[in-house]
Amino acid sequence: MFMSVANLQAVEYVMLNDLDTTKLPEIKTTSYGGEILRAVLGGDLMWEGLRLYLASYDYSCVGIFKALKLLEITASSQMVDIPCAYKSTTPQGDSIIVSGAIYLPYNRELKGIVIGNHHTMTADFEAPSNMTQLECMYTIKGYAVIVPDHVGLGITRDKKYPFMHWRHAAQTSVDMLNCLPELLDYYGYSYPKDVVVSGYSLGGTLAFGVTRYLEELNGEWSVRKLYAGSAAYDPTIMVDHCIKQDSIAIPAILPLTVMGLGDAYELDFTIEDFFQEPLKSNYDNWMTAKIYTFEEITDSIGTSYLSEIFQPILFDKTNPKVIQLYEALEDNNLVGYDLKTPAYFFHSVDDQTVPFATSKALRENMPNNENKEYDFDAHFQHVEGAVRFLKHVYQEL
């Protein structure tokens, strides 16, 4: 089990609504070594070292978790990590308390606020409120960072996970953002009323969704820039690509998508409808319990062939339940949206985890390419691409 590298201590959440200041940590006003860290991260050597470190673990979850622990140790001299809880809503509109993490730098003059969006997580110990995320590095540049868990992780571990439902993820992100000023005011931070939104993989999809949500909301928060990497902006393209290839790099992704959207839209999807053995008999243990990483689930499923994971129903687009699935997929399609915010999009053409076709469709159907940058020339696999993406975001902030 990979959980041995994670912090599994009980989390004490700070309630952000009607701020509970009794649980807030003290935050220093000065830090040491920040200039050295910024110089190191501003160059190429550290990032190449990170790439080689992850490569030594074959870009596995173990390598990622160890890298996160090293980052936590490094960044702890510059910032405070606050696990928090706040009020939001479920996809059906019911009230719920959700959780996440806030990273605050010691410097009270903030350069800005970053909304970070996490990648695909199947084990709850990976959730931002339980494990320090890569986005904490932006505090070294003087940014406050918020990273929601979203429903299904953290304090809502016992709830169903509305995977790939970007509108709901955006709602929980903005609800968290709206709680932030009271916390910043309590500590005496000065801050702008615009945000940077960033995410890679699933996080890239959600980052685009958060940006769209804030644009359509047209409220007090504006978005300075969107950074999105290797994301499934049109989940239909991703699903069709996998069906055509009869394979998927991470077998947990498609079951999460089917059942997550089924739960979010209250569709009559059952495990028996869609899955073959051994996933059918073990779905609740492997997926719903949120104990195992996606690599452990992959090993347990034992195949990457969809025809060996799914029932034949998935391949029949005339089936009423599959029609409902595709309607839900289309409802979460971000391709074709007229994005006004300046944006940087990254995707490696060799990515076997999230097909490049999703980003190709994004660029081809973007109504307005003003202030849009498309970095689509890389030839990396998915996790190696994440290093290049994070380096670009960090160094541009």
Q: Do residue 146 and residue 170 come from a single domain? A: yes
Is 57 in contact with 133 (CB distance < 8 Å)?
Answer: no
Same-domain status, 243 and 379? no
- Residue at which a domain ends, from 308, 331, 354: 331
- In this structure, the answer to whether residues 220 and 260 fall within a common structural domain is no
Q: Are residues 17 and 153 in the same domain?
A: yes
Does residue 42 sit in the same domain as residue 184? yes
At 319, list the tokens.
């089936």
Range of the domain at 122: 12-233+338-396
Strand partners, 28: none
Whether residue 2 lies inside any domain: the answer is no
> CA separation (Å) from 388 to 381, 393, 395?
11, 9, 11
pTM: predicted TM-score of the whole model, two decimal places: 0.94
Q: 205, 261 in Cβ contact below 8 A?
A: no
Q: Is 4 a domain residue?
A: no
Residues 229 and 267 in one domain: no
Q: Are strands 143-148 and 95-105 parallel, antiparallel or unpaired?
A: antiparallel
Closest to 256 in 3D by CA, of 162, 157, 382, 148: 162
pLDDT of residue 30: 75
Regarding whether 353 and 239 lie in a shared domain, the answer is no
Angstrom distance (rounded) from CA 98 to CA 91: 13
Q: In the chain, how many domains are there?
A: 2
Same domain, 169 and 136: yes
pLDDT of residue 9: 52
Give the contacts of 60 (CB within 8 A, at least 6 positions apart): 295
- Mean pLDDT, each 10-residue run in order, the chain (397 residues): 42 92 88 78 85 86 84 84 96 95 93 96 95 92 96 95 96 97 96 96 98 96 97 97 95 95 96 97 96 94 97 97 98 98 96 95 96 92 92 95
> In terms of domains, do 98 and 50 share one?
yes
User: Which CATH number goes with the domain that contains 21?
Assistant: 3.40.50.1820
Q: Are residues 304 and 223 in the same domain?
A: no
**Is residue 154 situated within a structural domain?**
yes
Q: Respond yes or no on whether the N-terminal peptide bond of residue 278 is cis (omega within 30° of 0).
A: yes
How many CB atoms neighbour CB 388 within 10 A? 18
Q: Do both 249 and 171 map to the same domain?
A: no
Last residue of a domain, one of 302, 331, 360: 331
Last residue of a domain, one of 297, 331, 365: 331
6, part of any domain? no
Question: Looking at the structure, do residues 203 and 114 belong to the same domain, yes or no?
Answer: yes
Q: What pLDDT sits at residue 50? A: 85
The answer to the question of residue 7 being in a domain is: no
